[in-house]
A and B are shown apart, each in its own frame.
Chain A
Amino acid sequence: METYIVLPAYNEGKVIKKLIESIKKEGYRNIIVVDDGSTDNTFSEAESTGVVAISHLINRGKGAATQTGIDAAKYLDADIIITMDSDGQHNPKDIVKLIKPLEKGECDVTIGSRFLEKSKNMPMSRVIMNRVGNYITAFFFHKLVTDSQSGFRGYSKKAANLVYTYEDRYEFESEMLGEISKHKLSVKEVPIEVIYTEYSLTKYNKQSSFSPQGLFNGIKMLIRFIEKALFK
């Protein structure tokens, strides 16, 4: 079975190479990096490692880049597609946990959840914020999971062929859950570890951490959901 790892990346030039190397070390050769119109050297860094590197000419957001990566993997005839954040917060050692259930045919989609097992270093505020996010997502997209904003997911060929998302930015993860529920795909959540490095915490998009930025993103997301309900 051909497994492809999709890495949507925006200005991750400093860490992308290291991440690709550590994924390769786990035995995965098929890696697709989607450079989302970065202004740094993300693309050349990724390309220098010999993986499939493609780029958006302009920045379209993490959601758009992830869907492009899924499309690229489908084009390359992938049997299993794993999507992963490229800032290094996901552990490549966890990829196997996402692949196994798909290989065995236990489910169509696997979601790596940060909240499935009680984490020692997870602040209470973050746990609560996440739970609120899950319920809001469930309200709009009819799918309740323990980590609705996780970007660490696995798709079987069947799932990848059925789902398609149009949300360009953070709402993507939630919209994908909507697609999963629409097509009645079976989901299995697996516990994953999150590596909070200084780098990943200072990056702009950490809605997972309790920061004014995270809260702000949450509110923005809620507004977008309402907009979506009204205008689409």
Chain B
Amino acid sequence: MVIQIIVTIGIVLLVFPTVYSAFKKKTISLFSLIIWTLFWVGGIVIIWNPSLMGKISGFMGVQRSIDAIVYLAIVFLLYIVFRFRIRLNEMQREITMLTRKLAIKDINKKK
């Protein structure tokens, strides 16, 4: 019971404001705001009704619900890493382009 209260308060006080302020600053879209809110609300619902997870894992064909959570978390994290990797590549490329433009601009001045 105590852990459920702590996690719920944590999500409400820390996660929701972070997501919302990111939306306010326009670093995430309205769509992302909705998805993330639903995701964390879903988390709270499952925390308070652990039997729900049993149904989900039963649907997935996994016996223990904790296994289902771990599988889903791994898939989710891999996806996030993939997105980061792509974004990182893009940023590297942009930095190189910027550096290149600045270097070539120097020739202009010297000419």
Binding site for B on A (CB under 8 A): 34, 37, 52, 54-58, 60, 64, 67-68, 71-72, 75-76, 166, 168, 227, 231-232
Q: How many residues of B contact A (CB 8 A)?
A: 16
Q: Is the CB of B100 within 8 A of A67?
A: yes
Task: Please give, as numbers and ranges, the residues of chain A lying within 8 Å of B100 by CB-CB distance.
Answer: 56, 60, 64, 67-68, 71
B residues with a Cβ closer than 8 A to A are 82, 85-86, 89, 92-93, 95-96, 99-100, 102-104, 106-107, 110
Are A56's CB and B107's CB within 8 A?
no
B69: min CB distance to chain A, Å: 27
Q: Please tell me if the beta carbons of B89 and A232 are within 8 angstroms of each other in the complex.
A: yes
Question: How many angstroms from the CA of A71 to the CA of B85 in the assembled complex?
Answer: 28
| B contact residues around A56 at 8 Å (CB) | 99-100, 102-103
Q: Which residues on B sit within 8 Å (CB–CB) of A75?
A: 104, 107
CA distance A117 to B19 in the complex (A): 63
**Cross-chain contact A55 with B106 (CB below 8 angstroms):** yes
Contact of B99 with A71 in the complex, beta carbons under 8 Å:
no
25 A-B pairs in the complex with CB atoms less than 8 angstroms apart: A52-B107, A52-B110, A54-B106, A55-B106, A56-B99, A56-B100, A56-B102, A56-B103, A57-B99, A58-B95, A60-B95, A60-B100, A64-B96, A64-B99, A68-B99, A68-B103, A71-B100, A72-B103, A72-B107, A75-B104, A75-B107, A166-B93, A166-B96, A231-B82, A231-B89
- Once the chains bind, are B89 and A71 in contact (CB under 8 Å)? no
B107 touches A168 (CB 8 A): no
Q: Are A71 and B96 in contact (CB under 8 A)?
A: no
Contacts of A231 in B (CB 8 A): 82, 85-86, 89
A166 to B86, CA, bound (A): 14
Expressed in whole angstroms, the minimum distance between the Cβ of A12 and any Cβ of chain B is 17
Complex Cα distance A190/B73, Å? 55
7 A-B pairs closest in CB distance: A54-B103, A68-B100, A56-B99, A64-B96, A60-B96, A54-B106, A60-B99
| Chain A residues whose C-beta falls within 8 Å of the C-beta of B85 in the assembled complex | 227, 231
Please give, as numbers and ranges, the residues of chain B lying within 8 Å of A37 by CB-CB distance.
Answer: 99
B88: nearest residue on chain A (CB-CB)? Answer: A231
Give every chain B residue within 8 A of A34 (Cβ-Cβ): 103
